[in-house]
A and B are shown apart, each in its own frame.
Chain A
């Protein structure tokens, strides 16, 4: 089934994917922005919007409204793909036939009001809402240290990309919050909704014409010149490898290595790179799993993962603190093995098959599908899942060895315990 595309002529694009396998209709609305100095404001906005609309003035009433729509779920999040800062608003509505009621239009109107008709007072957001959300936002930023596994990866990237927009944390910086109030946030918000690109994906058992009509009814308002977001710079020469150690109250060390792949998101080399990362640490067939975990018993988890849009790769594992050198040596040896072409048929085939399985499996999840389309669009590519799989299947060992030469170690980050003093 091909994706139906409909432009609303105001920088809002609607995409419809009809399938009858789900019991719900899923709407994902993404707002794109450049990751930059306004990141904190941008990240705070959805939390403030969630507090109330012009017609439903409190969060509590909003939730009641959704509960009455048979527990339609609303999920709002902020994250980054490369140096693109994204807000995601998701609604999942039960399919008509199971509840004997058509609730799609009510859901769409709600989504419109949530983002475009917020609860305001004069030319500003509600003061109290902004104050409360600022405090909570600060706590959420600070509490990222609680999840050590993820924190280690974020910190590695931050150290590695110091001075580049990618180093900005997706929720922004807590010190910026002091300068945000209900007035300047509202001005910033108006600028956002008037100029930022918006993509909406609808997945479910729907009649495309009807969906187009409903969205045209609520989302066809006039907007200003739409911002063009450039692709980030992915090329960077590493002059000297950075070594960073962070001492925390932990019992396990987290060793994280950051790499520059020098491969842009829409390059044809992206497919060999994907296979490269899979052979290195993409599953139980990979070199990291086999050598760091199974052979040396050093870790429970050891993997590699790409950040496609900024051209980065990270390797991460949790180890006994004193095993730092041992683990680092084994990891670096695996990279060298690939570069020298020591890749077995089993490693190559298993990687390609695993990628194929996970790509195919996206078809069974409405939000994964939306995210796939979105990523394709951001990368500047236009492949459906089948075409993407074909590209992956064509990758040869030689391609992998070739792309391996471009991958350069940039930063070694180690989270370790506090020294005894």
Chain B
């Protein structure tokens, strides 16, 4: 086994790649009561057009299929997988985002049996016309729940404005219309394309025995031959934004806004992507964090409140920053922010070291919980980043790196404003 170790935080992760291509990561965490495992595939809502290994033709599937498949994996011929986890006392769950579908459980006993169950059920699809139809009602209610959630709407409206054609502009669960077209043949096609061990990763963390864990995995994983590359087809996204502004009326008391910035320096993963991520996040923190002049001004003038937040999400083929919150005047907030960051002397070196310290503490906190370790690990893995590289990279970043990155990314012409307004009486 290969050993990944970071001395600064005294944490190690063991890696073993199996013959079928599956990558297994095991992280011992002494003293923890809870064990946590995630079995994830590199298949998300963005992957709706692809050429499967061995195919010549392009397959195009309805929006929301990765999420639909996630729901259906919990059903087997013998019954519900939830039932088996429940009998073992574990709490099982799953999630789908733009790039990933992940299945997970948390347990405090029967760990190896739970692990076996996780490995087996994710490799055992069972779709029928009947069980696919039945799920449509449930997912329709999930979609409706998000439709009525103004924070979700303001976010996806911003993504729709940022992107012309990239699938990230579409809702992860699809629409009630798009999921109505899903059938068992489509699900099997996606399953056999994307749920090959070669396209998957298994991460396990807790106070566990490494050899025993690896044995359980090896005994229960399919011994498939490697299948080769999946060709994912994404439309060519222009570097410009699609729309500058988008406004929707909903049942809210005060306008909500998302100010989005499109990242155009994309197309790479790994350490380079991690570095970019950190540069932008540190830059945003220096510019708009709770200790910044700009935050103080916006807050004291009554334009923002404690819901104000910002984040950069950088994937391999796209990335964007979102600054959001509630405000009586989102357009004014945008103007103030854009005006301030236009000034080249805006970021101050004196703030840099302090914000870096803050990020060190933030990173350390990740390691307080097996759940957050696992989620972060998988999230980074899909970007070809090793979680344990984080701290060393953070130390290596200079003020100049941040300033240059910030100026290139946070530009007015890359920005969009999404607003959800209260319904006018």
Contact = CB atoms under 8 A, between A and B. Distances in A.
Given A20-B31, A59-B290, A364-B370, A252 B361 contact: no
B108 interface: yes
Interface stretch (A34-42, A256-264, A298-306, A376-384): A298-306
Given A23-B368, A145-B252, A149-B145, A357 B90 contact: yes
Contacts of B367: 23
A148 B355 CA distance: 36
Contacts of B106: 357, 361
B364 A293 contact: no
A146 B86 CA distance: 34
Contacts, number: 195
Given A24-B368, A98-B9, A364-B33, A284 B147 contact: no
Contacts of B142: 300
B394 to A, nearest CB: 12
A365 B108 CA distance: 14
Interface string B83-116: 1011111111000000000000011110000000
A357 B93 CA distance: 14
Contact of A361 (B34, B134, B289): B34
Interface stretch (B16-24, B226-234, B257-265, B300-308): B300-308
Interface string A141-185: 011011111000000000000000000000000000000000000
B395 interface: no
A24 B369 CA distance: 11
A24 B368 CA distance: 8
A307 interface: no
Nearest to B30: A21
Interface in B319-356: 326, 328, 354-355
A350 interface: yes
B129 to A, nearest CB: 15
Interface string A271-306: 000000000000111000000011001111100000
A70 B357 contact: yes
B87 to A, nearest CB: 6
B221 interface: no
Contacts of A251: 144, 147-148
Interface string A184-206: 00000000000000000000000
A421 interface: no
Interface residues of A, number: 69
B151 interface: yes
A319 B89 contact: no
A223 B147 CA distance: 51
B141 A320 contact: yes
Given A148-B148, A252-B148, A350 B87 contact: yes
Contacts of A365: 368-369
B313 interface: no
Given A21-B30, A67-B291, A248 B305 contact: no
B302 A132 contact: yes
B242 to A, nearest CB: 25
A373 B357 CA distance: 32
Contacts of A341: none
A283 B138 CA distance: 16
B296 interface: yes
Given A60-B291, A146-B151, A139 B254 contact: yes
B365 A139 contact: no
A70 B361 CA distance: 5
A353 interface: yes
Contact of A146 (B80, B88, B252): B252
B253 A364 contact: no
Contacts of B8: 98
A198 B385 CA distance: 45
Contacts of A59: 290, 296, 299
B379 to A, nearest CB: 19
B82 interface: yes
Interface residues of B, number: 75
A166 B418 CA distance: 37
Contact of A249 (B251, B295, B305): B251
A123 interface: no
Contact of B365 (A69, A92, A135, A148): A92
Contacts of A20: 31
A98 B361 CA distance: 9
A250 interface: yes
A294 B199 CA distance: 30
A356 interface: yes
A92 B365 CA distance: 9
B364 A136 contact: no
A149 B151 CA distance: 13
A301 B253 contact: no
A252 B256 CA distance: 20
A239 B141 CA distance: 34
Given A60-B290, A146-B151, A360 B296 contact: no
A23 B362 contact: no
A20 to B, nearest CB: 7
Nearest to B151: A146
B290 A357 contact: no
A1 to B, nearest CB: 11
Given A19-B31, A72-B361, A249-B423, A143 B253 contact: yes
Given A143-B253, A285-B82, A356-B108, A318 B144 contact: yes
Interface in B124-178: 134-142, 144-145, 147-151
Contacts of A95: 364
Among B8, B29, B253, chain A packs the most CB atoms within 10 A around the CB of: B253
A22 interface: yes
Contacts of A294: 80
Nearest to B365: A24
11 contacts: A60-B296, A70-B357, A98-B9, A139-B305, A143-B307, A249-B251, A297-B138, A320-B144, A356-B89, A357-B89, A357-B109
Given A140-B305, A140-B306, A284-B85, 8 more contacts: A24-B364, A67-B357, A68-B357, A145-B252, A251-B147, A285-B82, A357-B90, A365-B369
Leading 8 A-B pairs by shortest Cβ distance? A71-B361, A297-B137, A353-B89, A71-B358, A284-B82, A350-B86, A252-B144, A142-B253
Interface of B: 8-9, 29-34, 80, 82-83, 85-92, 106-109, 134-142, 144-145, 147-151, 250-254, 256, 289-293, 295-296, 299-300, 302, 305-307, 326, 328, 354-355, 357-362, 364-365, 367-370, 423
Interface of A: 19-24, 47, 58-60, 63-64, 67-73, 92, 94-95, 98-99, 128, 132, 135-136, 139-140, 142-143, 145-149, 248-252, 283-285, 293-294, 297-301, 318-320, 346, 349-350, 353-354, 356-358, 360-361, 363-366
